[in-house]
């Protein structure tokens, strides 16, 4: 196989040029139409990310699945590894994703990392088909679905080289010596962490909680015999000191039992999360938590105010009902305004006030009665020029 075929993008990868297979041509056309439909549906789709830049929340699974489809559609399996995939193709994959999802340019690294993983998993499945047969002729007769014939020929040629066979043997040895297999499945660490946060009473989850959850089954048991002693020791340390999990990544229970993380990814936090990412996000996490506390405090104050308003509304309703019983006495106390002079109005105000205080002693909503006493000045003295004349004499009574 020529080096050009491996390193240069093809028209198929960038423009969906039809292949010799009618089925592949239909699949390519269907995929292209689906993308156009998604673009024309209106506003771009939203997806939420956690502090470490991993997708979480509703729609996150569909988001990752869409990235996987774009990686398989645009990145042919004929490249030896991800670094040899041209940058133009990678940028095109990110552009297609941003045409459908509302993402900032800073998300490109994370999106391409997901594309890389999906592309490698796809090649792994193709490799299983390759290993199923002993000759290349049998392999060509059993081409996997949605794979072009010319791409399958190039892939078989790559897998048949001595260099690739050595890589495969090294990969098998590494897999056999893996000490920390996980049970997170398609959910991943980020979405499992989100579920733990929802179940937590105070809404906080440590790296230790996530590590234990992603290495045990739903019933709490560990399906891996080699890992059970380590998990038991982690749980024992947490039971002795519940606050031990809140320490930094070099001193929490996972670091004490499993060992400190190196310069690569951090155990229990998800794909692509390194110490640099964790340290960089720490100040922003504090800011977000502080804003969350303020928002919760504001919401609580609003609830209290609304509750107080409801209580006052009910109190005024009760007062209105009880005032109906005092209506005859009010009629005897208040003559017609046109028949009395200004000083008589002041006297009437004193008598009305005394009557309202009687109502207060009768437990007729004290706070509302006080409000009514103040309002009574305006009710009795409702003529502006008379109000000015009465004010100097009003407080004598």
146 conformational bin, left if phi > 0, alpha if psi -120 to 50, beta if neither: left
What does the chain come to in residues?
Answer: 397
Whole-number Å distance between alpha carbons of 38 and 29: 14
Encode 212-278 in three state secondary structure.
HHCCCCCCCCCCCCCCHHHHHHHHHHHHHCHHHHHCCCCCCHHHHHCCCCCCCECCCCCCCCEHHHH
In this prediction, residue 83 carries a pLDDT of 92
Tens digits of pLDDT across the chain (397 residues)? 333 333 333 333 333 333 444 555 555 555 555 666 555 556 888 888 888 888 888 889 899 999 999 998 899 888 888 999 999 999 999 999 999 998 988 889 889 999 999 999 888 888 888 888 888 888 888 888 777 888 888 888 888 888 888 888 888 888 777 777 777 777 788 888 888 888 888 778 888 888 888 888 887 788 788 888 888 888 889 888 888 888 777 788 888 888 887 777 788 777 777 777 676 665 555 655 665 666 667 767 777 777 777 777 787 777 777 666 655 655 555 454 444 455 565 666 666 666 666 665 655 444 555 555 555 545 544 444 444 444 444 444 3
Contact 251, 197 (CB under 8 A): no
Q: What are phi and psi of 366, to 5 degrees?
A: -55, -50
* 4 CB neighbour count, 10 Å cutoff: 7
Q: Please state the domain extents for the chain.
A: 3-176, 188-272, 319-394
Closest CA relative to residue 239, chosen from 219, 253, 224:
253
Contact 57, 50 (CB under 8 A): no
State the Rg of the chain over Cα: 37
Instruction: Output the pTM of the full model.
Output: 0.59
In this prediction, residue 114 carries a pLDDT of 92
Encode 24-61 in three state secondary structure.
HHHHHHHHHHHHHHHHCCCCCECCEECCCCCEECCCHH
Whole-number Å distance between alpha carbons of 132 and 126: 10
Whole-number Å distance between alpha carbons of 159 and 108: 30
Whole-number Å distance between alpha carbons of 373 and 356: 7
* 308 CB neighbour count, 10 Å cutoff: 10
Whole-number Å distance between alpha carbons of 4 and 79: 10
Contact 60, 48 (CB under 8 A): yes
Closest CA relative to residue 216, chosen from 259, 265, 181:
181
* 247 CB neighbour count, 10 Å cutoff: 16
Tokens of 253: 């229970």
In this prediction, residue 174 carries a pLDDT of 80
Contact 266, 184 (CB under 8 A): no
Residues 210-217: contacts with CB under 8 Å, at least 24 apart: 210/268, 210/269, 211/254, 211/267, 211/268, 214/182, 214/183, 214/184, 214/189, 214/268, 215/180, 215/181, 215/182, 215/183, 216/183, 217/183
Contact 71, 119 (CB under 8 A): yes
In this prediction, residue 245 carries a pLDDT of 80
In this prediction, residue 389 carries a pLDDT of 47
Residues of 126-160 as b/e, b for ≥16 C-beta within 10 angstroms?
bbebbeeeeeeeebeeebeeebbebbbbbbbebbe
């Amino acid at each position: 196989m020529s080096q050009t075929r491996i390193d240069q993008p093809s028209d198929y990868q960038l423009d969906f040029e039809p292949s010799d297979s009618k089925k592949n041509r239909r699949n390519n056309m269907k995929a292209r139409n689906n993308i156009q439909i998604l673009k024309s549906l209106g506003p771009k789709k939203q997806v939420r990310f956690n502090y470490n830049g991993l997708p979480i929340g509703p729609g996150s699974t569909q988001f990752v699945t869409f990235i996987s489809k774009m990686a398989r559609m645009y990145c042919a399996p004929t490249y030896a590894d991800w670094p040899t995939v041209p940058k133009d193709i990678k940028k095109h994959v990110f552009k297609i994703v941003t045409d459908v999802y509302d993402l900032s340019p800073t998300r490109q690294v994370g999106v391409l990392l997901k594309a890389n993983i999906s592309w490698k998993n796809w090649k792994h499945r193709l490799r299983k088909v390759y290993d199923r047969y002993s000759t290349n002729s049998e392999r060509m007769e059993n081409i996997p679905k949605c794979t072009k014939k010319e791409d399958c020929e190039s892939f078989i040629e790559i897998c048949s080289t001595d260099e690739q066979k050595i890589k495969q043997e090294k990969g098998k040895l590494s897999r056999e010596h893996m000490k920390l297999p996980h049970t997170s499945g398609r959910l991943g660490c980020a979405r499992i962490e989100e579920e733990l946060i929802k179940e937590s009473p105070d809404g906080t989850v440590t790296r230790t909680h996530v590590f234990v959850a992603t290495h045990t089954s739903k019933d709490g048991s560990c399906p891996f015999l080699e890992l059970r002693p380590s998990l038991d020791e982690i749980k024992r340390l947490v039971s002795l000191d519940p606050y031990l999990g809140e320490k930094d990544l070099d001193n929490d229970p996972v670091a004490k039992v499993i060992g400190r993380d190196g310069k690569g990814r951090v155990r229990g936090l998800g794909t692509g999360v390194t110490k640099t990412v964790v340290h960089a996000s720490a100040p922003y996490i504090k800011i977000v938590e502080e804003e969350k506390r303020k928002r919760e405090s504001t919401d609580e104050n609003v609830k209290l105010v609304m509750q107080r308003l409801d209580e006052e509304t009910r109190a005024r309703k009760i007062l209105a009902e009880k005032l109906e019983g005092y209506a005859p006495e009010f009629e005897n106390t208040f003559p017609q305004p046109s028949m009395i002079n200004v000083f008589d109005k002041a006297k009437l105000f004193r008598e009305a006030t005394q009557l309202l205080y009687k109502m207060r002693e009768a437990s007729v909503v004290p706070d509302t009665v006080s409000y009514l006493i103040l309002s009574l000045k305006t009710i009795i003295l409702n003529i502006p020029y008379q109000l000015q004349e009465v004010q100097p004499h009003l407080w004598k009574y």
